[in-house]
Amino acid sequence: MLDYLNLDYKPSDNDLKVMYYVEKAADTSSIEKACEEIAKESSIGTWTDIVTLSEDIAQRLKPCVYHINKEKKIIKIAYNEELFEADNISQILSAIAGNIYGMKAINNLRLIDIEFPKSIVSVYKGPKFGIKGIRKLLKVFGRPLLGTIVKPKVGLNPKQHAKVCGESWIGGLDIVKDDENLTSMKFNKFETRVKETLKIRDKIEIETGEKKIYMPNITAPVSKMKERADFVIEQGGEYVMVDIITLGFSALQEIRDYLDDKNVVIHAHRAMHAAITRDPKHGMTMLSIAKISRLIGMDQLHTGTVVGKMEGGEKEVVDINKVLTNMFIEEEDYSMLHQDWGNIKKTFPVASGGLYPNVVHKLIDILGTDIVIQAGGGVHGHPEGTEAGAKAMRQAVQAYLDNINLSEYAKTHNELKKALEKWKYLK
């Protein structure tokens, strides 16, 4: 029987390393046995000895379980780079996050983190724009980018949609995006919506002297996505949005490659991620999805808010943002594996979900200024409407930058004052 366990093994720079949380099944003799089953099922082995497995294959390609922390139930496995088709994320995940989830030897399995070797990182383009490119495009430096999501999510016709966008922009927001379930509906056809919205954008850019961005959701079968992306670009659009999980990673790779020679930023919405990431004992982490998204080339990615309505603790969200922006993370048993990104640009973290002016100071304190703040209800729910809601968000950010308490700033800024009153600001 081939031995996959070697706690003295020192992974090489050519190994792809994976960290898992593992709970063995009651009738599995030990955590070591469970680890062996995971390692062989994700690579060259199966449930019994096989005559087709030569000594050469076994010694050259077998992965190695090199770390086990029984108390925390954390293990690390190093995989030979030859086990993977480097430019095929779907194949890589079929190995390290595939059949192993269904094995009887385990009760729970969670992929915590991945460290890709240079041989894999080097074949990916990463973000075309990244944080620096996006800031240069919008000419916004030193503060978070501010955006909203058109609400209601669905139901508005193209002209109504464009009107909401216009009010958001005139109020001072940089960005307006479609929601995750708005594509091309009977009551709001994609092409008409894009035309109407970009027409308003052009008008307001002239009025305000500020760059304004619209992110239409092009999520669809790949051939249709390409058509929609081309249409956006033809109309003068500079951004597209995709739902990365429901779309699938192979489609994501294809649309990123297709858009490589086109001057368009890709915004990544993570709708459905919690079906995979939310269980703390099973599935895979949002951190690992974030790494994959940056590798493939998402310029912006939803990562969580800490203070909003969406699930995700402070350490989790902060660590994800650090991974996207190359910030240092301490190496611990239960923290991140190191990742050398080479020339891959940084991805802009996006905070979205239950945000409003009252929480802006706390949000920036936790996540910093290199974020995109997307507030939907926190803009359109303002007592005086969308334009006032946009102004209140912009005022809340400016108060932070000027180091002024929100209540104090609100004394001379009525839109912020009304927002603080509605959402019961207490500080």
Catalytic residues: 151, 269
As given in the structure block, the two tokens for residue 408 are 């104090």
Contact 141, 135 (CB under 8 A): yes
CB atoms within 10 A of CB 173: 28
DSSP β-bridge partners for residue 24:
106
As given in the structure block, the two tokens for residue 82 are 């030859």
Largest Cα–Cα separation, the chain: 80
Backbone dihedral angles phi then psi of residue 149, each to the nearest 5 degrees: -120, 130
Residue with tokens 């109309």: 235
Dihedral sign for Cα atoms in the order 281, 291, 213, 228: negative
Contact 405, 427 (CB under 8 A): yes
Contact 388, 368 (CB under 8 A): no
Dihedral sign for Cα atoms in the order 292, 295, 299, 305: positive
Contact 39, 106 (CB under 8 A): no
CA angle (154, 155, 158) in 5-degree steps = 95
What does the alpha-carbon distance between residue 332 and residue 150 come to, in Å, rounded to a whole number?
41
Query: Which run of H or of E encompasses 275?
Result: helix 274-277
Report which residue type is found at 357.
P
Contact 334, 110 (CB under 8 A): no
Residues 6 or more apart in contact with residue 179 via CB below 8 angstroms: 149, 150, 151, 153, 154, 217, 376
As given in the structure block, the two tokens for residue 176 are 């307006």
CB atoms within 10 A of CB 319: 21
CB atoms within 10 A of CB 2: 14
Contact 196, 230 (CB under 8 A): no
